[in-house]
Structure 1
Amino acid sequence: MRAWVAEQDWLTLERLPTYAPELNPVELLWSSLKKRELANLADDHLADVADATEKGIHRLNHNPQLPWSALAHTGLTVQPPHPPNLRKDQ
């Protein structure tokens, strides 16, 4: 793997701590879901929890800037450095 990575001029590897949720944008999205759709949810049926989770995922999917803001919160970047131009009808 190291040899292959060394041949890729476009790829930069960063060493990260073993456990660093503050550097994982998905943790922020999961936190948002837990604070809204799953907050105080106590139900007898797993299907109800799954429905609430799906509702939260739909909410996250309908805000295309949210993943980018979660990434910005970590201080990490990807190329291109800005979100792609989004059509207004999305």
Structure 2
Amino acid sequence: MTISPMRSRPNLYFRLFSDEANARAEDVVSFLAQLRAEIRGPMTILWDRSRIHGRSRLVKAYLSKHPEIVAEDFPGYAPEANPDEGVWGWTRYHRLPNYAPDGTRGLRCRLAAEFAGLRRRPDLLASFIRHAEIPPRL
């Protein structure tokens, strides 16, 4: 999720991986590059303490080349402080509670459609941010 400091408008950027694929440092760098191409100006990234984030040599190298991107960690184990948990909770419990796809391809397509729909709901995205225990001002 992103929040524009100028417009105070939240947005959602996402990437889904194929079957059996786990996110790697290369994926984090690629996603940061995509964000940087779409979002002009400085940005602060808040992320969990996953090893592929700030502790990866590859990610550290990318961030050192882009001082306009500042990375901060969420506190220890604090999913309640992460607005992304609202995205997953809403999608899982309000949009897909009885959805039974034929396979992961169907699930991935449906998730992509649901996330794309959330991008058009800044009011709902803002509610996820407000619900987090450490919300920024909207």
TM-score, L = length of structure 1: 0.61
Alignment partner of 1:64 out of 110, 119, 122: 122
Which sections of structure 2, spanning at least 5 residues, go unmatched? Answer: 1-71
User: Highest Rg: 1 or 2?
Assistant: 1
If asked which structure has higher relative contact order (CA below 8 Å, sep 6+), I would say: 1
Cα offsets for 1:25-57 (capped at 9, x unmatched): 100111001113332222332111011101210
Alignment partner of 1:25 out of 57, 60, 83: 83
Which sections of structure 1, spanning at least 5 residues, go unmatched? Answer: 1-12, 83-90
Q: Distance in 2 between matches of 1:51 and 1:57?
A: 10
Q: CA RMSD in A?
A: 2.4
* Residue aligning to 1:76: 134
Q: Which runs of 4+ in 1 moved over 4 A?
A: none
1:55 aligns with 2:134: no
> What is the identity, as a one-letter code, of the residue corresponding to 1:48?
G
TM-score, L = length of structure 2: 0.42
Give the CA deviation at 1:77: 3.1
Q: Distance in 1 between matches of 2:107 and 2:95?
A: 9
1:37 aligns with 2:95: yes
Q: Distance in 1 between matches of 2:116 and 2:73?
A: 32
> Structure 1 residues 74, 50: closer, same or farther in 2, change over 3 A?
same
Give the CA deviation at 1:74: 1.4
